Each structure stands twice: as C-alpha cells, then as structure tokens.
Chains A and B, each alone.
Chain A
Amino acid sequence: MSGCGLFLCSVAARFCRAPAAFTVSRRPLLTSPPSRAFAKDLFLGKIQKKEVFPFPEVSQDELKEINQFVGPVEKFFTEEVDSRKIDQEGKIPDETLEKLKSLGLFGMQVPEEYGGLGLSNTMYARLGEVIGLDASIAVTLAAHQAIGLKGIILAGSKEQKARYLPRLASGEHVAAFCLTEPASGSDAASIRTRATLSADKRHYILNGAKVWITNGGLANVFTVFAKTEVVDSDGSVKDKMTAFIVERDFGGVTNGKPEDKMGIRGSNTCEVHFENTRVPVENVLGEVGGGFKVAMNILNSGRFSMGSVVAGMLKKLIEMTAEYACTRKQFNRNLSEFGLIQEKFALMAQKAYVMESMAYLTAAMLDAPGFPDCSIEAAMVKVFSSEGAWTCVSEALQILGGSGYIRDYPYERLLRDSRILLIFEGTNEILRMYIALTGLQHAGRILTARVNELKRGNVTTIMETVGQRLRDSLGRTVDLGLTGKLGVVHPSLADGAHKLEENVYYFGRSVETLLLRFGKAIVEEQLVLKRVANVLVNLYGMTAVLSRASRSIRLGLRDHDHEVLLANIFCSEAYHQNLFTLSQLDKRLFWAPDL
C-alpha cells in the first residue's frame, strides 16, 4: 500500500512539472469538468493515468474476508457440483440450488442491511472466477442478481428494497429480467407488452409475452418492461416504457416449457406470459415512463463480471489441457514439447491474463467513490472476454484432439457453453457500436467546441492546431509520460508502454479525422465504428496489463517475470493489430472497399 502511495506522488509530480512532453494533452480548450472516464479520454488521444495507474489493490481486511468466503465456495464447486449431470439433464438439481442459497450466492451484491453479502465489485469479480467453473450456475446466478434484481438496487425505492431484497438475497425468491420480446431485441420502440392503469388508478393491468427469459420458470419476482401511456409536458399522450416489479403471485403469470439450448443447458430459459396481471402502482420501478433509463442502467452495470467469470473458466481449462499435454506422448515426446502446442498455451494464458486484468481494473473503477460511469469499460471487458473465451476453448479443443470432440469429456461442453457469451447481454456487435459511439460522442463534443473556437478566430487555438500539425508532420516521437524517470510503468515494460502511447496518440488523431470526415453520419458507418471499437478494446487491454505487470514487478510477486512476458507479448500483438486497423481507417493509406 505504501508503494501505491508512492506512485500517486510520482504521478502528481509528473503533472506539476508540465514539461514540453506534456503539450499533447494540454489542451486549454478542454473546459469540460474533468471526467473520471478513462476510455472516453482515449478517444482524445490522452491517457488518464490517475484512473488506471497503479493497478488497484484491495485492503488486507477485504482480502482476508474474501479468502474466507471463496474457500468454501470453491470447495463446493469442485467437489459437489456435477456439471456433466447438469448439462445432460438440463436442470440444476434442487440440492445444489439450496446449497448455493445457503452459501449466500444469491445475494452477493445486495447491501448487507437487506440481508445480502454486500460485496464490492472487486470481490464480486473474485467470486465470479469460482462460479465460472459451471456455466449453467453462473448464468442462473447472473440472471438473478446481475440483471434480475439489479433494478431494485439501482432504481428501487426504500420500501421496494425492504420488501423484496431480503427474500431475493436469501434465495427464497429468484429474480428474472423480462425485456426481450418476439419482436423486440434492442429496439425499445417495438415492445408490445402493455400496462394500462386500472379504473381505480391503483393497479396496472399487464399484458404481453416475453421470450428467452433466463430463470423464467424458477423466478418469483420479475423485472418487467412494458409500454404505458404517459402524458407529456405539452399535454400529448405518448407511449413510454416503464419498469415494474411483478410477483408471480399477482396472477396471470405463466411460463412456457424450458427451451432446449445448445449450451448452458442447466439454466432455465423460457417464455413468460403476462395475462391481465394486476401490478400495484407501488411496484413501478423508478418513474412511470422512465423504464428506458432503468433498462439501460441495468444492462450497462451487469457486464463487467463476465471478464472474471471467463478467466476462472479458462484457468481451469488451461489446467486440464496442460495435464493432457504433459502426459500424452507422441514420437517419444510429450505434446507440451511441441512448439505449436506451446503457442496455443501461450495464447490461452495471455488471453486469460488480459481479461483478468481488465476485469479487475474495471471492478476497481466501479468501486471508486462517487458513481463513475464505466459502462464503456464494462462493455469492452465483455467483448474481449467473450471472444477470448471462444478462441481459447477452440484452441484447447485443438490441443486435445479427438477427446475434445467426445461427449464423455467435459471439453465440448465448455465450447457449447462459451458460445452464448458472444450473444447475450448485448451481442458483441451491438456492444461495439456502443463502445465506439459513446466515445465518439464524447470526443465530438470537445471537437465541436474546438472547431467553433477556430471559426471565431481564437489565436491561441489556431497556433496550437498549426503547431501540432507541424510537429506531427515532422515525425515526432510520442511521449505521454508513462515511462521515464517518474513514469508509472516499470522500465522492463517500457517497450509496451511506448507502443501504447503511440497507439493512443494516433488513435486520437484518427478519431478527430473520422469525426471531421463523417460528422454525425458516422452513426451509419458501422464498419468504421467496429474498427474504432476494436482499437479501443486493445488499448484498454494494453493499459490493464501494463498497469498490473508493473505492480507485480514492484511488489515482487511470484512469477512476475511471466507476467512481464505476457504483457509484452500482448502489447506487441495489439500494437500491430491497432496499426493495421488505424491504417484501414485512414483513407490516404489504405483503401478498404467496405469503408
């Protein structure tokens, strides 16, 4: 912890010096209040070092607490949970569910005053690593608390919390999140479920059908989104989305038979129908007509945990695969001695390391005081970890050869299970749009201000711009102050840090060019947006590993030399990917037919 303080000092000193190297980020036009968003500032070509360096740590008390807690859970998952049986029968056995409830896993993030564990995001992520050992259980738990009851925590009134949270936290009631409809995925306008106010104005009558509801058959409490008529400020009547807490006991709630899925077969997914369900007015979540924001907040907050869940699963997979590769002999050599096999292990270890770093960095950002908006970071963690999971499981199957394809072994189940990660909680395509557009929105606001200044003929602005262009054209080296005498990155990672700095700087320039090129029409340029998002995901990953590996070296953690290797490999790979993507975005360098 003292090391941490030291770094903060060094960062502060770095800021005070404000040498020539800092001119890049010294934009006097930045009049907006300093935001706590690291990713958004990457769009401006800047690294908010305070946000990500040094790598966050948990206090000793917290660590003790979490270790006490993780132990029994891990024991339970490795010894008592039979994933194969769950997968084959398509159902989590009742005794397993009971045990999960008794361990308190149904109320991990419910505040302690309501009977939950009140875990911080970091601790929740740590538990996620253990829970990730069985995908069906992980999904069931996530649907219950990451989205199912999250609405009550985020937007519920005191009475609602007191009424529902204790029973939800104990697992007596299971929650489900009902948003998707046959005609509506991410399109909120096409939601058909409707809630009409009854004559006595004390109930809403809810009618409609929801599909693909995880826990739909188990849940007693549903967060349901429906259209209601809302009188606007100008007197016109409009259809707006409203969130409701619906209990199964309200009547008229039925569910279809569980869907037969490809993976996560133990989780319960089914249709849920509401037929003249009478929901009391007190059960409106948030404001009437404010359901859209509630839904968005729930969705945005639920994503970051996937990183650690996947990392936990991958670590287990690496363990199993390594055991196989070290025992199977071909040509009198172990499989593990072959270069092509080693490469696959390196890839898996690297992906697991990066997504773990990203997940914990984001968790710590979320734990920071105030209400930091880390939805871009969370979305990046989700995109990176879900795709990493798919690649790694596929590579692992490659190492395992034939036994990876046999149903008697657990490997093919992992492949089936991991496919859903790319799809649910917002498909990766949609999340890429979100990542790119939210960041561009931020950059666009600042850029517009800058363009206006230029138009008004602000001499300093013009001089700045001209000077920057001149320096760029002279081929300057980029230095954002990550390394050097008072740098936040350890010298053995200087190479990666330089690459990150260069990428970040030119990414900022690319974003500026793109905004000038396309303006607001960039919303329609999905192929450009995808590339922007890809670069950003890589940048965030690089930052996370550099930060974490620096910390490991300075603390002298065991195997930190491997961490340095992994970090440098990842930085170098991501750097070249980024360069290629950025050149695709630059129309002078690369003419991609789809851009």
Chain B
Amino acid sequence: MSWAQAILLARGLSRGWGGICSTALTGAPFSQVPPQAPRGLRCSAAAHNPDSSLVPRPPEPPRQPVKALAVHEELFRPALDGTRDKANFVRAVQNFAQYNVHKRGHVDFIYLALRKMREYGVERDLSVYNLLLDVFPKEVFRPRNIFHSIFLHYPRQQECGIAVLEQMENHGVMPNNETEFLLMQIFGRKSYPMLKLVRMKLWFTRFKNINPFPVPRDLPQDPVDLASLALRHMEPDLSARVTTYQMPLPKDSPDTMDPTETHIVGIQSPEQQSALARHDPARPIFVEGPFSLWLRDKCVYYHILRADLLPPEEREVEEIPEEWNLYYPMQLDLAYGRSGWDDYEFDIDEVEEGPVFAICVAGAHDQATLAKWIQGLQETNPALARIPVVFRLSGSSGELLASSSELEEPPPPPPEGQEEEEDSQQRQQQGQS
C-alpha cells in the first residue's frame, strides 16, 4: 500500500509542478536568484557550453515557479546575527523536511540549496551533501521493472540527483557508503545517479593524487604569500630563495591606487645566480611576461628574466679534468661509445631554450615595477649591472595582456559563478599539464 501511495504522491507532485509551471508568470522578478554563469564541467568542450551544465541552471529558468522558490528562499534567510554557517544550513534543510511532510518541491529546494552551499561555506562537506540527498523521498523513484530502467525513470529527480553528485565532483568531495546507500534507496541500483556515483568512485581514487605538484587546498589570502607559493610551485630547485623586493602598501593608505607600490616577490636559485654571473655582458637579457599560473581558483601572473640560447659554436664543452676523482677513473679511453642497439632513449625532438635566471610575481606588470625587481636583483647579482636588460612585456601572450592592464590593481573578488568558471579553467589546465 505504501508503495502505491508513494507513487501516487510523487506523480501528483510532478503533475502539480507542471501546473504551477504553466501558470507561472513570465518575466518574474529574479532578484532572489542570482544570474548563473556557466559552470564548468570536467571536459573542456562542455565547459564552454552552458546548456550542458546542470547545477547552476534551475530547470527552465524563465518559467521558474516564483511562489515555491520564495518559500524555499525563506528557509535560507540569514540568522539573526547574520552568520551563515553549517549549522544554519543544516537547520534550513531540516526545516524543509519538517514543514514539508510531503516533500513538495524538493527538487527545486535541492537546486536552491546547492546554489546556497557556497555562501554557507559547506560546499566541501560530505555530510551536507548526504543530508541534501536525504531530502529525496525514498523508494519512490526506484524503477520497478525493466522498462522503467530502460527509459529514464523520473528524469527530473534523477537529473537533480546527478546535479548533487556533480557539485560534489566539482568540489572534489568523495562520496562515501552513506551516499551510495541513500542513492540506492532513492533511485535504486540501475539509475543514472548510481552510475555517476560508481564512476566517481572509480575515477576519484585515480585522480586524487594525479597531480605531482599538489597545491594546498586553502590558498593564502595575502598576495605576497600567494606569490611565494606560486614561485615555489614553479621553481624546481629546492635551494632557491624567495625574496620579497617590495611589500604592498597597507590597504587603507591613500596611495593604494599607485600601481608602483604593489608587492614584488622573486625567486632565484644559487645555480641561476652563478649562471647569471657567468653570462656574457655583451648579450642582453630579457624580462618577459606576464605569464599566467593558476593555483586552484586563483591566477597569478609572473615574469621571467631570461637570455637567448648561446649559438652552438660559443658553448663551452664540459670536459672532465684529468685529476678529478681520487678513487676511480671518470672516463675510459676506449675508441667507441654505446652501440645503437643499447640506446634505450626514445627519439625525442627537444627544443632547447635559453637559460632562465629569475622569476618574479608582481602586483603590477608595467616596466616601472619590474625595473624595481631588476634593481633588487642587482644586490645579489652584481653582474646584472653590466648586462643590458630589455623589457619585452608584450606579445608573449596577447590574451593575457588584454587583462593585464585591468589587473594593475588587484581585481575585485569575482562573482560566484565566475569563480567557478575559473575553477574549471584551472582543472583544465591541470589536466593539460
């Protein structure tokens, strides 16, 4: 009996939705629903196609049932003291379940809750996702026979379930057994959310540690700290030293708008220092940039100090001195080398590049700021005073330069959706690198 009731109930729910939707006002006020920017998927093709994303777009947005949303929106009203934390979020979800015995409008509530998660700072909390999934009525959407499972059974609900999992995926939250159990109760084994879950369980474990250069989950807020993190991330030499050539002025000082007073942080290894000391002063060296580096959802722009590759005839051939090793000969006087059959190297065409002498991250990308960096470098590299330095600040990457002029002052924190877009871009970059 309860099965039948549940089915009827659910049917009724969806039918009711249809009715509401059809009667909904067109051009309803959207103030309470922030416009959603496209949310990135894992694959790059989908990232540019907003239609294929699931979460941020509530189903058929123009005909959003205003009344129902307003009801749910109420649940997420800020608490008296204005705090938004996990407890408040959980209370909102529980309130929905309490006051809405029939779970009317639960799909829309879940979509809304998903969008609100970031505001409440719970987007990485597995228990909250499980709580959200728990909002779904159990056993109702399970396919009862083979035809149910062949055709998409309760498509809106399944899509909503997938959307929850999708958001978990985007924030790198690994589903646990409880998630699986809930999905099994709600949608059954043979359903699309379950398929998604199985795939997540398969790939998450593989992708979790795939990046050999892991970035900390919580990035530092201070631009100087962020810059040194980025520099450490790029520099392979562990003995390299990070130097802060200029600290940014405090926020409240009147000169904040002066772009030359931003932070300048550089890194240089002892090997780079000695290479720079050995550099022929007749050859110029170049300051190039800005190039971008993504650290999770943050982008920093860096500049490099480099020289052109020496022409082959001027390169010094490294020779083994005669009396070098006290214990064993460093070379054998044989007339022949390794035979072709024992060359296990792959045939790789390598493009040789000139040496890089230092890297810096600065708040501004104009010549005046970078000249300060070069000045700072001169203190530890006296040879730099004799070498002409050429600033090549354009042309290296046109796309970035367009934005670099805007970035002379620290960009305002991007709106929610945009951040997520950056997030997805970063994922793509990680995937490509």
| Chain A stretch 485-539: residues in CB contact (< 8 A) with chain B | 515-523
CB contact under 8 A between A186 and B325, given known A441-B332, A520-B331: yes
CA distance A169 to B265 in the complex (A): 63
Output the nearest chain A residue to B331 by Cβ-Cβ distance.
A523
CA distance A521 to B336 in the complex (A): 9
* Chain B residues positioned under 8 Å from A292 (CB to CB): 323, 326
In contact, B332 and A430 (Cβ under 8 angstroms): no
CA distance A520 to B332 in the complex (A): 6
Question: Cβ of A388 < 8 Å from any Cβ of B?
Answer: no
| Chain B stretch 330-365: residues in CB contact (< 8 A) with chain A | 330-339, 341-342
In contact, A518 and B338 (Cβ under 8 angstroms): yes
Partner of B323, one of A240, A448, A518, A523: A240
CA distance A431 to B325 in the complex (A): 12
Partner of B334, one of A240, A426, A520: A520
CA distance A523 to B332 in the complex (A): 7
Output the nearest chain B residue to A293 by Cβ-Cβ distance.
B323
In contact, A521 and B321 (Cβ under 8 angstroms): no
| Chain A stretch 263-298: residues in CB contact (< 8 A) with chain B | 292, 295-296
In contact, B321 and A518 (Cβ under 8 angstroms): no
Partner of B324, one of A189, A444, A515, A519: A189
In contact, B334 and A517 (Cβ under 8 angstroms): no
* Chain A residues positioned under 8 Å from B342 (CB to CB): 517-518, 587
CA distance A292 to B329 in the complex (A): 13
* Chain B residues positioned under 8 Å from A519 (CB to CB): 334, 336-339
* Chain B residues positioned under 8 Å from A516 (CB to CB): 339
CB contact under 8 A between A523 and B325, given known A516-B339, A518-B338: no
In contact, A523 and B339 (Cβ under 8 angstroms): no
CA distance A299 to B339 in the complex (A): 35
**Could you tell me the distance in whole angstroms from the C-beta of A440 to the nearest C-beta in chain B?**
6
**Could you tell me the distance in whole angstroms from the C-beta of A450 to the nearest C-beta in chain B?**
12
How many A-B pairs with Cβ below 8 Å? 77
CB contact under 8 A between A438 and B325, given known A517-B338, A519-B334, A520-B337: no
Partner of B332, one of A426, A440, A451: A440
Q: How many residues of B contact A (CB 8 A)?
A: 20
CA distance A64 to B328 in the complex (A): 40
Residues 243-256 of A, flagged 1 when their CB comes within 8 A of B and 0 if not, give 00000000000000
Residues 343-386 of A, flagged 1 when their CB comes within 8 A of B and 0 if not, give 00000000000000000000000000000000000000000000
In contact, A434 and B337 (Cβ under 8 angstroms): no
Output the nearest chain A residue to B332 by Cβ-Cβ distance.
A520
Output the nearest chain A residue to B336 by Cβ-Cβ distance.
A519
In contact, B336 and A520 (Cβ under 8 angstroms): yes
CA distance A13 to B326 in the complex (A): 43
In contact, A520 and B333 (Cβ under 8 angstroms): yes
Q: How many residues of A contact B (CB 8 A)?
A: 34
In contact, B327 and A426 (Cβ under 8 angstroms): yes
Output the nearest chain B residue to A298 by Cβ-Cβ distance.
B326
CA distance A292 to B325 in the complex (A): 9
In contact, A521 and B327 (Cβ under 8 angstroms): no
In contact, B329 and A437 (Cβ under 8 angstroms): yes
CB contact under 8 A between A430 and B324, given known A517-B339, A517-B341, A518-B338: no
CB contact under 8 A between A431 and B327, given known A437-B332, A517-B342, A523-B332: yes
Which secondary structure characterizes the binding site on chain A?
helix
In contact, A433 and B332 (Cβ under 8 angstroms): no
**Could you tell me the distance in whole angstroms from the C-beta of A591 to the nearest C-beta in chain B?**
11
| Chain B stretch 50-105: residues in CB contact (< 8 A) with chain A | none
In contact, B337 and A188 (Cβ under 8 angstroms): no
In contact, B337 and A521 (Cβ under 8 angstroms): yes
In contact, A299 and B331 (Cβ under 8 angstroms): no
Question: Cβ of A187 < 8 Å from any Cβ of B?
Answer: yes
CB contact under 8 A between A434 and B328, given known A292-B323, A519-B339: yes
Partner of A448, one of B329, B335, B341: B335
Question: Cβ of A241 < 8 Å from any Cβ of B?
Answer: yes
| Chain A stretch 156-213: residues in CB contact (< 8 A) with chain B | 179, 186-189
In contact, B323 and A241 (Cβ under 8 angstroms): yes
CA distance A296 to B329 in the complex (A): 11
In contact, B332 and A444 (Cβ under 8 angstroms): yes
Output the nearest chain A residue to B322 by Cβ-Cβ distance.
A292
CA distance A146 to B82 in the complex (A): 82
In contact, A522 and B326 (Cβ under 8 angstroms): no
Residues 413-440 of A, flagged 1 when their CB comes within 8 A of B and 0 if not, give 0000000000000100011011001101
CA distance A430 to B342 in the complex (A): 25
* Chain A residues positioned under 8 Å from B335 (CB to CB): 448, 451
In contact, B334 and A433 (Cβ under 8 angstroms): no
Partner of A188, one of B326, B329, B332, B336: B326
In contact, B338 and A186 (Cβ under 8 angstroms): no
CA distance A241 to B324 in the complex (A): 10
In contact, A187 and B324 (Cβ under 8 angstroms): yes
In contact, B336 and A296 (Cβ under 8 angstroms): no
CB contact under 8 A between A521 and B338, given known A189-B321, A440-B332, A441-B332: yes
Partner of B327, one of A189, A433, A451, A515: A433
In contact, B325 and A187 (Cβ under 8 angstroms): yes
* Chain A residues positioned under 8 Å from B341 (CB to CB): 517
In contact, A430 and B323 (Cβ under 8 angstroms): no
Partner of B328, one of A437, A517, A587: A437
**Could you tell me the distance in whole angstroms from the C-beta of A250 to the nearest C-beta in chain B?**
25
* Chain A residues positioned under 8 Å from B326 (CB to CB): 179, 186-188, 292, 295-296, 299
CA distance A558 to B1 in the complex (A): 100
In contact, A188 and B339 (Cβ under 8 angstroms): no
**Could you tell me the distance in whole angstroms from the C-beta of B271 to the nearest C-beta in chain A?**
15
CA distance A587 to B329 in the complex (A): 25
**Could you tell me the distance in whole angstroms from the C-beta of A246 to the nearest C-beta in chain B?**
19
Residues 313-327 of B, flagged 1 when their CB comes within 8 A of A and 0 if not, give 000000001011111
CB contact under 8 A between A430 and B339, given known A188-B323, A519-B334: no
CA distance A352 to B206 in the complex (A): 52
CA distance A477 to B328 in the complex (A): 35
* Chain A residues positioned under 8 Å from B330 (CB to CB): 523
CA distance A33 to B331 in the complex (A): 23
CA distance A296 to B325 in the complex (A): 9
CB contact under 8 A between A434 and B323, given known A517-B341, A520-B332, A520-B334: no
* Chain B residues positioned under 8 Å from A295 (CB to CB): 326
**Could you tell me the distance in whole angstroms from the C-beta of A87 to the nearest C-beta in chain B?**
30
CA distance A516 to B333 in the complex (A): 14
* Chain B residues positioned under 8 Å from A296 (CB to CB): 326-327
* Chain A residues positioned under 8 Å from B323 (CB to CB): 188-189, 240-241, 292
CA distance A519 to B338 in the complex (A): 5
Residues 258-275 of B, flagged 1 when their CB comes within 8 A of A and 0 if not, give 000000000000000000
In contact, A186 and B327 (Cβ under 8 angstroms): yes
Q: A444-B334, A523-B330 given; name 15 further pairs at CB < 8 Å.
A: A188-B325, A188-B326, A299-B326, A431-B327, A433-B328, A434-B327, A437-B329, A438-B328, A448-B334, A448-B335, A518-B342, A520-B336, A521-B338, A522-B332, A523-B332
A-B contact pairs, 29 of them (CB 8 A): A188-B326, A189-B321, A241-B323, A292-B326, A296-B326, A296-B327, A299-B326, A430-B328, A433-B327, A434-B327, A434-B328, A441-B329, A441-B333, A444-B333, A448-B335, A451-B335, A516-B339, A518-B337, A518-B339, A519-B338, A520-B333, A520-B334, A520-B336, A520-B337, A521-B337, A522-B332, A523-B330, A523-B331, A523-B332
Q: Which residues of B contact A (CB under 8 A)?
A: 321, 323-339, 341-342
